[in-house]
Structure 1
Amino acid sequence: MLQVMIIVNAIHNWKPAKQYSKETEYRDDLAEYLRDTLNYGDALFGSRATVSKEKGKGLCDIAINGNEYGIELKRNFKSNSEVTRVMGQILQYQKEYDHIIIVLCGVTNLDKLDDLKTRISGLQRPLIGPMQLIKVIDKGTR
C-alpha cells in the first residue's frame, strides 16, 4: 500500500507544463514526470519503476510496473455521461490492474467529481478485491 501512496503523492505534486488541448498530451506529460520522479535515485520502489503508456481497449492510459498500477486520465470532466463512462471503465480495469488511479485534468465540474467519488465509494468490497485501491485525483481547473 505504501507504493500506491508514493504514486498518489507524486501525482498530487505533478503540475502539467501547460493547459493542453488533448488528453494524450496530459498523458505524455504525466508519464514523463512519473518516470523521472518514481525513479529518482532508485530509492522509492527499491528498483526502477516501469512507466509505460498503454495502448488498446480495456487498458488505462498509463501503467506502472506492468499491471500493478493503472492510471486513467480524463480531460474536461463535465458531464453525467463522462461519470457513467468512467464507472464502466473502472469495472473493466479491475480485471487488469491491482490499483486504479483516475486523474482529472483540464476543466473539472465539481458536481460531477462529487458524483464520481460517491459512486466509487458505493462499489461493493467483494467486487474490487481485498486490497485494490481506486483513487480519484483532481488536477483540473474550475
Structure 2
Amino acid sequence: MTNVTSLCAFFDNLHVEYGSEGIISAKGDVYSFGILLMETFTRKKPTDEIFAGELSMKYWVKELLPSSLMEVVDTKSLNSGEPGYSATRDCALSIFQLALECSEEVPEERIDMKEVVAKLKKIKIRLLYESNRRT
C-alpha cells in the first residue's frame, strides 16, 4: 500500500500545480513535463552517463516498455512482492505512456495539458479502484 499512497500523493501534487479546477495554463511545456514524468519514475536524468551517444532517456523508455518495466522504473517505486503490485505496475505503464505522448518530437503531435490532466485523473482513479478491490 505504500506505493499506492505515494502515487496518490504524486497525483494530488500534480493536480494543484498543473490544472486545479480545470484551469490549465497555455504556457505549460508539455514536452518538459513528459521528461519530468520519466525522471520521476526512473530516478534518472536525461544527462546520466547511460544516455551517452545516440541513446536518450526517451528512446530508452520507449524501447524497453512494456516488456521490461522493471529495468526502467525505479525499483523503490515498484515492489513486485507487495499487494496491489498489478495495479501499481499498470499505473506506472500508463504514466510512462503518457510521458511519451507528452514528449513527442513534433509539437503538433503532443497532447495538450488539459488532456494530460484528464489522463492523470483517470490513471489515479483506476489505481485507487484496483487497490481498493484487492483490500
Quick check: which one's helix share is greater? Answer: 2
Tell me the TM-score normalized by structure 2. Answer: 0.29
Relative contact order (C-alpha < 8 Å, sep 6+): which is higher? Answer: 2
Tell me the TM-score normalized by structure 1. Answer: 0.28
